[in-house]
Amino acid sequence: MESRIRIFLLRSAAAVLVLVTVAGCASRGLEEEAAADQARPVIDPQVERRDVAPPDIDTEDFEVGASFGFMSIEDFGSNSAWGLRLAYHVSEGLFAEATYGQTDAGKTSYENLSGSQAPLLSNDDREYSWYDLSLGWNLLPGEVFIGRNHAFNSALYVVIGAGNTSFASDDFFTFVYGAGYRVLATDSIALHFDVRDHMFDIDITGEDKTTHNIEFNLGATWFF
């Protein structure tokens, strides 16, 4: 009798255990489902994500152009000179510049006084050309006003660099410094006025000396 009651109690305990377990599992399942429901958005917007590409904007950091002016070669007079110019603007203040130019040397006063008896150089040797690689700084940016209705951006800049001069069938390492004034006629076209001193050592007139060769030029450049 006693054992029957014990079996009954055990059975009911087992049944309760099974019920509790099943109920527990079921409720956990519900919780998980609810959690999953919360994670799922109420409205799925179906938006296609775009890849952000760097925009394709016309970058105008290069400047190319030509110039025309005068070159005063120490001892050899002044002559007209022309040049080419390529600049890369690194920041609003700083730029790197490559220039090339050509002129012809005239006669020294010694050659003029002695007549054409003792020329120092042949005609071929009088060809004078140079290239320079310089760094420039837009020192004084500003605007110029012409009349009542026109304003143009401008900058006074300084350059310093070095290069090579070919003259009298020789090459000379040349130190260059100077200043220039740039006015932007339109957004892409600039007008320049430049003064440069080209310094190098030469012994052609009989003594070793450092010559200063001053170049003045007017130029036009185009930003691209």
Partner 1 sequence: MRVRSAIALLATLVLVAPAYAKRTALQVVVAEPFIEMRTGPGRGYPIFHVADRGATVSVTRRRTDWFEVRTERGVAGWVHADQLALTLGAGGEAVAIREPGWDDYEQRRWEASVAFGDFDGGSSISLTGGYRLSANLSVELMASQLSGDYSDGWLAAARLLHSPFPEWRVAPYFVLGTGVIEVSPRSSLVTTEDRTDQFGQAGAGLRAWLTERFMFRAEYSGIVVFTSRDENEEVDEWKAGFAFFF
| Interface residue list for partner 1 (CB under 8 A) | 50, 52-61, 64, 66, 84, 88-92, 94, 96, 100, 102, 129, 133, 135, 138, 141-143, 151, 153, 162-164, 168-173, 187, 203-204, 222-224
Nearer to partner 1 by Cβ, of 72 and 200: the residue is 200
Minimum distance, C-beta of residue 137 to partner 1, in the bound complex (Å): 13
Do residues 98 and 114 touch, judged by C-beta distance below 8 A?
A: no
Between vectors from CA 110 to CA 73 and to CA 74, what angle results, nearest 5°? 15
Nearer to partner 1 by Cβ, of 114 and 188: the residue is 188
- Phi, psi torsion values for 65, nearest 5 degrees: -175, -175
Q: Which of 167, 111, 153, 158 is nearest to 134 (CA)?
A: 158
Minimum distance, C-beta of residue 44 to partner 1, in the bound complex (Å): 18
Q: Which of 180, 182, 195 is nearest to 153 (CA)?
A: 182
Nearer to partner 1 by Cβ, of 4 and 50: the residue is 50
Minimum distance, C-beta of residue 109 to partner 1, in the bound complex (Å): 21
Read off the tokens for 185. 């006629």
Cβ atoms within 10 A of the Cβ of 21, count?
10
SS3 17: helix
Q: What is the rounded distance in angstroms from the CA atom of residue 29 to the CA atom of residue 140? A: 75
Q: What is the rounded distance in angstroms from the CA atom of residue 212 to the CA atom of residue 195? A: 12
Read off the tokens for 13. 């305990």
Nearer to partner 1 by Cβ, of 39 and 57: the residue is 57
Q: What is the rounded distance in angstroms from the CA atom of residue 180 to the CA atom of residue 195? A: 6
Minimum distance, C-beta of residue 191 to partner 1, in the bound complex (Å): 15
Nearer to partner 1 by Cβ, of 2 and 203: the residue is 203
Q: What is the rounded distance in angstroms from the CA atom of residue 191 to the CA atom of residue 186? A: 10
Minimum distance, C-beta of residue 222 to partner 1, in the bound complex (Å): 8
Minimum distance, C-beta of residue 22 to partner 1, in the bound complex (Å): 51
Nearer to partner 1 by Cβ, of 79 and 153: the residue is 153
